[in-house]
Amino acid sequence: MIIIDNLLDADQVEQYRAALADVPFNDGKATAMGMAAGVKNNGQADAQHATVQALANNLLASLGNHPQVVSAALPQRIFPPCFNRYSESQTYGYHVDAAIMRIPNTPDVLRSDMSMTVFLSSPSDYEGGELVIQTGFGEQKVKGNLGSAVLYPSSSLHKVTPVTRGERIAAITWMQSMISDQTIRESLYELDQSIQSLVQGGKANREELDKLHHVYHNLIRKFSIV
């Protein structure tokens, strides 16, 4: 599970929120697949609405350009982000995201390798509404800061606990990674982050950095499916 701070700055979140205020939200059950529909109780912004599509495209561009997102997910395809809302007493019980998703208005499908929530509400705006993710080390709870995002393996069971006060608004999306194996993807992320911190530290010698880059790219060459 990876937290990305300030994926969007406060002004950007403000713009998203202002735009979403004028958009119709539908019952989230309509877009849930299979078992998930039975436990989904939230609202979802109408994905056919021009404003929602513009916001989705805007966020898609921010994701595709974000070094930490690219490093962690090595995305090949990103689902157009959806915008959801949990009002008081709304919740989304434990579920697993569909493995294969049809990308709306295209002939393409996407295998969900990583799921993402971008927090468009400040944690002080609501009580409850925690994203809870089951991991091999127990349940992890996330209530992200305004504009931050959490990226987690789509293979994990997860839920959003009931909002008991206020309103929680978020953007969600899924990514198909060029690296389908989670363990290899995580190792590549750690390797890349270490290389980046060596570069930023300014002390590593050029030849050693070249060798590390070489290894990193050759591992991607070996394990990527594109």
Ligand X SMILES: O=C(O)CCC(=O)C(=O)O
Distance of closest approach, residue 82 Cβ to ligand X, in angstroms: 7
Exposure of 91 by Cβ count < 10 A (0-12 exposed, 13-18 middle, 19+ buried)?
Answer: middle
Nearer to ligand X, 168 or 192 (CB): 168
String of contacts with ligand X for each residue 155-174, x by CB under 6 A: ---x-x---------x-x--
Distance of closest approach, residue 99 Cβ to ligand X, in angstroms: 13
Whose structure tokens read 């980046």?
196
Q: Which does 45 bind (CB under 5 to 8 A by kind): Fe ion, ligand X, none?
A: none
CB crowding 140-153: b at 16 or more within 10 Å, else e: bebbbebbbbbbbb
String of contacts with ligand X for each residue 108-127, x by CB under 6 A: ---------x----------
Exposure of 64 by Cβ count < 10 A (0-12 exposed, 13-18 middle, 19+ buried)?
Answer: exposed
Pick from 84, 121, 154, 177 the residue near ligand X by CB under 6 A: 84
Pick from 16, 75, 97, 163 the residue near Fe ion by CB under 5 A: 97
Helix ranges restricted to H, the chain: 10-20, 36-39, 50-64, 67-73, 182-201, 206-223
Residue, CB closest to ligand X: 117
Distance of closest approach, residue 20 Cβ to ligand X, in angstroms: 14
97 is in an annotated binding site: yes
Asked if 1 interacts with ligand X (CB under 6 A), we say no
CA-CA-CA-CA dihedral for 62, 192, 153, 125, to nearest 10: -50
Provide Rg for the chain, Cα atoms: 18
CA–CA gap between residue 128 and residue 114 (Å, rounded): 24
The binding site for Fe cation consists of 95, 97, 158
Residues interacting with Fe ion, by CB under 5 A?
97
Q: Report the interface residues with ligand X, using CB under 6 A.
A: 84, 92, 97, 117, 131, 158, 160, 170, 172
